[in-house]
Amino acid sequence: MFTFLIDCGVIDSASSFDGPPQAPQGVDQLAACLAEVDQDMALAVLVEMTTRTLAYHAQGRYPVDKAQDVFKKLITLLGHGTRWWTNTDLGSWNPVTRHTMDALVVGTGGGVLVAVLAADED
């Protein structure tokens, strides 16, 4: 997962203000930012992060019904016993990128790992 975030270019080694980096700088720091959640919470976060912008809660990329349909299918494909982690409870978050706001949901089940990341600036 940490390699994924590095490869996406969303983790820097220092903040933009010459201070310490805001994003996790290793696997252990990333794991500390994530909390395990149940399937319902994972679905709620996935839908919210794709239907509303993180900074201003304006209309996002997808309508709610489309997002619910897509992510319910994803949950079904991963199967029973899938474990979910996220850095947000939709009210606060633990930053995992260099962006002002971010939301990450990770699911693992059926031998597959899925990560959905949204980032926004205000």
Examine the pLDDT at 75 and tell me if it is beyond 70: yes
The structure tokens listed for 20 are: 């310490």
Share of the chain above pLDDT 70, in %: 86
pLDDT in tens, 19-33: 666 778 778 888 999
Share of the chain above pLDDT 90, in %: 54
State the pLDDT at residue 16: 57
CA distance 51 to 67: 7
**Cα 100 from chain centre:** 13
Examine the pLDDT at 71 and tell me if it is beyond 70: yes
Nearest to 2 by CA among 100, 106, 82, 75: 106
